[in-house]
């Protein structure tokens, strides 16, 4: 994730898009950072729209290509992520993170 942000900051949007796509495959929560990276590139650095589209396409390809190896369409991949998040009913277990600080490690998501 950090590498994709650094690449976006340096104007290397195809690399940034590819890295964020791989990050999303590794941990779907990274999809939250994708709009932030786009905003940084578009607003802060003034990157042209065509280069932004190239970065988005690279990210989509980084997600689609490995998924295709397992014959997963994007909607199949999204369904798997949603299904797996529903299997484990806790926010975060045994992790020293934000949810641990709020006392939410073993608190059910349904609560």
The domain locations on the chain are 2-101
- Confirm whether pTM is higher than 0.85: no
In tens digits, what is the pLDDT along the chain, a chain of 111 residues? 788 888 887 888 899 889 988 888 888 777 877 777 777 777 766 777 788 888 889 988 998 898 888 888 888 888 888 887 777 666 566 666 676 677 666 666 665
Question: Could you tell me where the DSSP H helices lie in 10-111?
Answer: 13-26, 33-39, 49-69, 74-87, 98-101
Contact between 10 and 45 under an 8 Å Cβ cutoff? The reply is: no
């Amino acid at each position: 994730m950090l590498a994709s942000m650094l690449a976006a900051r340096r104007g290397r949007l195809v690399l940034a898009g590819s890295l964020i796509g791989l990050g999303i495959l590794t941990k779907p929560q990274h999809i939250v950072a994708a709009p932030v990276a786009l905003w940084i590139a578009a607003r802060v650095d003034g990157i042209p729209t065509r280069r932004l589209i190239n970065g988005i396409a690279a990210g989509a390809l980084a997600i689609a290509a490995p998924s295709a190896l397992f014959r997963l369409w994007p909607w199949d991949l999204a369904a798997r992520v949603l299904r797996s998040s529903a299997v484990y009913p806790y926010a975060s277990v045994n992790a020293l993170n934000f949810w641990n600080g709020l006392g939410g490690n073993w608190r059910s998501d349904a609560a």
